[in-house]
Chain A
Amino acid sequence: MTITIQLNGRPVTAEVSPDTLLLDFVRAHGCASVKCGCETAGCGLCTVFLDDVPVLSCSVLAARADGHSVTTLEGLQDEAAEFVGFIADQGADQCGFCNPGFVMNTIALLRDNPDPTDEEIRSYLAGNLCRCSGYEGQLRGIRSFLNSRKEGAQ
Chain B
Amino acid sequence: MLQFQNYVRAQSLEQAYTLNQNRRARVLGGMLWLRTEGGTAGTAIDLSALGLDTIERTGEGWAIGAMVSLRTLERHPELNAMTGGAFAKALAPIVGVQFRNLATVGGSVWGRFGFSDVLTLLLALDAEVELYHAGRIPLAQFAELAPDRDILVRVLVPDAPVKLDYQAARIARTDLPLLTCAAALPQDAPPRLIIGARPMRAMPVADAQGILSAGLTPEAIRAFADYAAGAVPTGTNSRGSAEYRTHLVKVLTTRALGGLIQ
A residues lining the B interface (CB < 8 Å): 1, 18-19, 21, 39-42, 44, 47, 53-56, 58-61, 63-64, 105, 108-109, 123-128
Contact = CB atoms under 8 A, between A and B. Distances in A.
22 contacts: A18-B5, A18-B44, A19-B4, A19-B44, A42-B99, A42-B174, A47-B98, A54-B97, A54-B98, A56-B99, A59-B35, A60-B102, A61-B7, A61-B28, A61-B31, A61-B46, A64-B7, A64-B9, A64-B46, A126-B95, A126-B96, A126-B174
Contacts of A127: 95-99, 174
B173 interface: yes
A134 to B, nearest CB: 13
Interface string B197-215: 0000000000000000000
B15 interface: no
Contact of A108 (B5, B48, B97): B97
Nearest to B33: A41
A109 B46 CA distance: 29
Interface of B: 2-7, 9, 28, 30-32, 35-36, 44, 46, 48, 92-93, 95-99, 101-102, 173-174
Contacts, number: 81
Contacts of A125: 96
A12 B174 CA distance: 35
A128 B98 CA distance: 9
Contact of A41 (B4, B7, B36): B36
Contact of B97 (A21, A42, A124): A124
B44 A41 contact: no
A60 B31 contact: yes
A47 B99 CA distance: 9
B99 A1 contact: no
A39 B32 CA distance: 10
Nearest to A109: B97
Nearest to B92: A123
A18 B7 contact: yes
Contacts of B36: 39-41
Pick the most buried of B9, B44, B102: most chain A CB atoms within 10 A of its CB: B102
A124 to B, nearest CB: 6
A54 B96 CA distance: 10
Contact of B101 (A55, A58, A64): A55
Contacts of A41: 32, 35-36, 95, 99
Contacts of A55: 98, 101-102
B61 to A, nearest CB: 27
A22 to B, nearest CB: 10
A138 to B, nearest CB: 14
A44 B98 CA distance: 7
Contact of A61 (B5, B32, B44, B96): B44
Contacts of A40: 36
B50 to A, nearest CB: 13
A58 B96 contact: no
Contacts of B101: 53-55
